[in-house]
Amino acid sequence: MMRSRPFPTPRPALAGLALLLWLPLAPALSQSKQLTVEEAFLNRDLQPQNLRQLSWIPGSKDEVAYLRPAQKGQPDELLRGSATGKDLTPIVTQATLAAALKAAGATEPKAFPGVQWRDANTMLITSKNQVYSYDLKTGKATRAFGYDAEADNVDFDPTKTRVAYTKGPNLYISMAGRENEARSKEPETPTPTNAPIVFGQAAHRSEFGITKGTFWSPAGNKLACYVINQSEVTDYPLVNLTTTPASTQPIKYPMTGDKTQQVQIEVFDLNTNKPVVLQTKFGDGHYLTNLAWSPDEKNIYLAELNRGQNHMQLNQYDATTGAFIKTLFEEKDDKYVEPQHPAQFVPGHPDQFVWQSQRDGYNHLYLYSTSGQLLRQLTQGSWIVTDILGFSADGKEIIYASTADSPLERHVYRVSLSGGAPRKVSQGTGTHVATLSPSGRYVLDNFSSPATPRTIRTIAVADGKPQRLLLNAPNPVADYQLGETKIVPLKAADGSTDLYARLITPPNFDAKKKYPTVVYLYGGPHVQLVTENWLSGSNLWMQMMAQKGYVVFSIDSRGSGNRGRAFEQATFRQLGTAEMADQLVGVNYLKSLPYVNQSRMGVHGWSFGGFLTTTLMTRAPGTFKAAVGGGPVIDWRMYEVMYTERYMDTPQENPEGYRQANLLNYVSKLQGKLLLIHGTIDDVVVWQHSLDYLKQAVDEGVQLDYFVYPGHPHNVVGKDRAHLYTKITRYFDENL
């Protein structure tokens, strides 16, 4: 859901058989340390080691670079090496780079700065909004250009010679010789989040895979951007408690069923300085998503979706005039269509692109011509493609990641654009997160599994053979006594759908004892909690709770991510119902375990998980003795248009669904102890949700507990996260 971040972020089970997949973390004799909340959230040394600033070097012969930390008093040093070689060559130390930047007029960095690669010989470093280039051959840095100190949404073009950014509601471009040029002229406002029209910011509340509001053409000659007219969107007041007296900071928050943003795409030509607006097709409240440029920069391809989100068109526009050219194809669904990925053009074939779609029930790859002809479906099966990595060196294959081996795993595959069966590139049961080299010949494979914290190596795409090991991370919690983790396949409440759960038992487990249990859940779209990676997707707080003597359990109910369209759409128009039923399947499994104390069970979740936690406490009262719900949606009528109307339709179209999901209607049913937590400036699930619940409890004489985090948005992060989970831990200690 909702831009929330739950904790770090198999084959079908046999019918009727709860087969246990054992994934032990075998204790060693030296494992004796006990985790604390502070260590679980603030001690980076307890996370698997990683390689900083690891990347492929563009323009090189398949070389990688990464930062080697300081060793024996020596400063940090950037290294580079080929995908297949044995030796890594030092490029520059922190001290050398700092001296070069200082000579160029930059403030001397106190640590190794972040770098971007322009080409095989040139790095870019940004220091206090000034961009410097560093020449590896000469060892000299020069100032390239700068941009405004108050810049937001900074976006470099593909050539790394220009940058777009926003300031307030306006859009600017900076480059050498033409710095801080305004591309829009909306008046500055004291509260830019409340401006009626904004340029260059992410539209549609960052749904549909949208992460930004500016889109550079392939050679950086043109820039497309969102223009968001939110003048008719309701102002919603957030309270700023840092002033005396407190003040309001209104934001534009389109609640479901109400008026929403009107969005356009404007295109700026840097050579002519003439902006044009795409003459988009759909009407009021439509969505413009997944923008892609043609390789020649002449056309823009745009997925357009009606407000009902059940009819999508992929449309082509002239980037010079803004004129509509044609609709290449349409997708419709009786529930919803959710495009999340732009068209990706085939190298060397500017008239072909790959499109991702769930049209057959699972996210798969389709090869199209720019005439709109479907050439072929490239992948198919009851699994999903999770990411396109790129194309092979000869442009004849596409390399992608998918769940083809198991919904719990991620592997890298390749398939020919001319058709045929996919071939697996990665090896080893677990989770492979990969990036493709610029040539398409190798991948950087970041691998983890329940038994492997992290390994990073290069792999040849052609035959899947490992080439170079860059990192084999040690177990960061080897000295800590952890419990045993296993993955449990179960059947959903419908009796047929496969679900997967994670069960953690305490160290020194005694099957004759009775243990209290905490269920951590999310249950909403686009999130998967149970995976075959390090700690099986759990986090150290869960491991800490196991150390304290709790059984810790999670299950990915229907409606959650990465299982296909039918799995997600099982919750359509009735959020909370199917998810609750599946969570109760997990509860029944726990009750079947002789070592689980059925009278001492608790549940915790945040965001959609907070909604589901509160749902279980009041629509299945008596199931749990204690619960903690954070940032919960209480009444879907008060959540945002783009998300809610996809899964619930509008309140006018689905009044019964909204009534059934409205947790204000169940306050009187509450049994057990419930703690609700909210951030006071939550701009995702606004504070009013839990305040309304609190008011309803007061009106009905129902007792519950409540805590707020002043000045925090939707997630409580930073040092205060340890405070948050200390409170949650104590609540379970005191009430279970």
Among this protein's residues, is 714 annotated catalytic?
yes
Q: What percentage of the chain has pLDDT greater than the value 70?
A: 95
Q: Give the tens place of pLDDT for each residue, 95-120.
A: 999 999 999 999 988 889 999 999 99
Cα(405)–Cα(638) distance, rounded to whole angstroms? 40
Residues 634 and 723 both lie in one domain: yes
Cα(591)–Cα(588) distance, rounded to whole angstroms? 5
Q: Which residue has the tokens 């920069």?
A: 297
Domain range enclosing 140? 50-146
Residues 691 and 707 both lie in one domain: yes
Residue 594: Cβ within 10 Å count: 9
Q: For residue 538, what pLDDT is reported? A: 97
- What's the distance, CA 378 to chain centroid? 26
Residues 402 and 458 both lie in one domain: yes
Closest CA to 302 of 135, 312, 311: 312
Catalytic choice (607, 635, 649, 690): 607
Antiparallel, parallel or unpaired: β 140-146 and 152-156: unpaired
The reply to whether 586 falls in a domain is yes
At 433, give phi and psi (nearest 5°).
Answer: -110, 115
| Domain count across the chain | 3
> What average pLDDT score do residues 125-148 get?
96
Among this protein's residues, is 494 annotated catalytic?
no
Q: For residue 654, what pLDDT is reported? A: 98
Q: For residue 4, what pLDDT is reported? A: 45
The reply to whether 422 falls in a domain is yes
Residues 500 and 457 both lie in one domain: no
Among this protein's residues, is 554 annotated catalytic?
no
> What average pLDDT score do residues 387-401 get?
96
Contacts of 203 (CB under 8 A, 6+ apart): 210, 213, 226, 228, 261, 263, 288
Calculate the alpha carbon distances from 57 to 52, 148, 726 in Å. 14, 28, 43
Cα(31)–Cα(504) distance, rounded to whole angstroms? 17
The reply to whether 392 falls in a domain is yes
Antiparallel, parallel or unpaired: β 130-135 and 122-127: antiparallel
The reply to whether 13 falls in a domain is no
Q: For residue 194, what pLDDT is reported? A: 82
Residue 459 has pLDDT above 50, yes or no: yes
Q: Give the tens place of pLDDT for each residue, 315-353.
A: 999 999 999 999 999 999 999 999 999 999 999 999 999
Cα(626)–Cα(603) distance, rounded to whole angstroms? 7
Residues 487 and 446 both lie in one domain: no
The reply to whether 156 falls in a domain is no
Residue 421: Cβ within 10 Å count: 8
The reply to whether 245 falls in a domain is no
Residues 497 and 432 both lie in one domain: no
Q: Contact 516/597 with Cβ under 8 angstroms?
A: yes
| Banded pLDDT at 192 (limits 50, 70, 90) | low
Q: For residue 190, what pLDDT is reported? A: 62
Q: Give the tens place of pLDDT for each residue, 469-483.
A: 999 999 999 999 999
The reply to whether 131 falls in a domain is yes
Cα(622)–Cα(672) distance, rounded to whole angstroms? 7
| Banded pLDDT at 569 (limits 50, 70, 90) | very high
Q: Which residue has the tokens 């198999």?
A: 10
Residues 579 and 676 both lie in one domain: yes
DSSP run (H or E) holding 143:
strand 140-146
Q: For residue 87, what pLDDT is reported? A: 82
Residue 1 has pLDDT above 70, yes or no: no
Calculate the alpha carbon distances from 211 to 153, 163, 226, 289, 612 in Å. 10, 17, 12, 10, 26
Residues 438 and 511 both lie in one domain: no
The reply to whether 702 falls in a domain is yes
> What average pLDDT score do residues 161-181 get?
95
Among the candidates 102, 129, 146, a domain finishes at 146
Residues 466 and 504 both lie in one domain: no
Contacts 24+ apart (CB under 8 A), 728-733: 728/604, 728/628, 728/675, 729/37, 729/541, 729/544, 729/545, 729/548, 731/626, 731/628, 731/673, 731/675, 731/705, 732/516, 732/518, 732/545, 732/550, 732/602, 732/604, 732/626, 732/628, 733/548
Catalytic choice (364, 526, 604, 714): 714
Residues 631 and 561 both lie in one domain: yes
Residues 581 and 644 both lie in one domain: yes
DSSP string, 470-539: EEE---TTTTB---EEEEEEEE-TTSSSEEEEEEEE-TT--TTS-EEEEEEE--STT-----SSGGGG--
10 Å CB burial of residue 32 (0-12, 13-18, 19+) is: exposed
Residues 515 and 645 both lie in one domain: yes
Q: Give the tens place of pLDDT for each residue, 604-629.
A: 999 999 999 999 999 999 999 999 99
Among the candidates 419, 444, 475, a domain finishes at 475
Among the candidates 434, 454, 475, a domain finishes at 475
| Banded pLDDT at 18 (limits 50, 70, 90) | very low
Catalytic choice (62, 682, 683, 712): 682
Write the CATH number for 598.
3.40.50.1820
Q: What percentage of the chain has pLDDT greater than the value 90?
A: 90
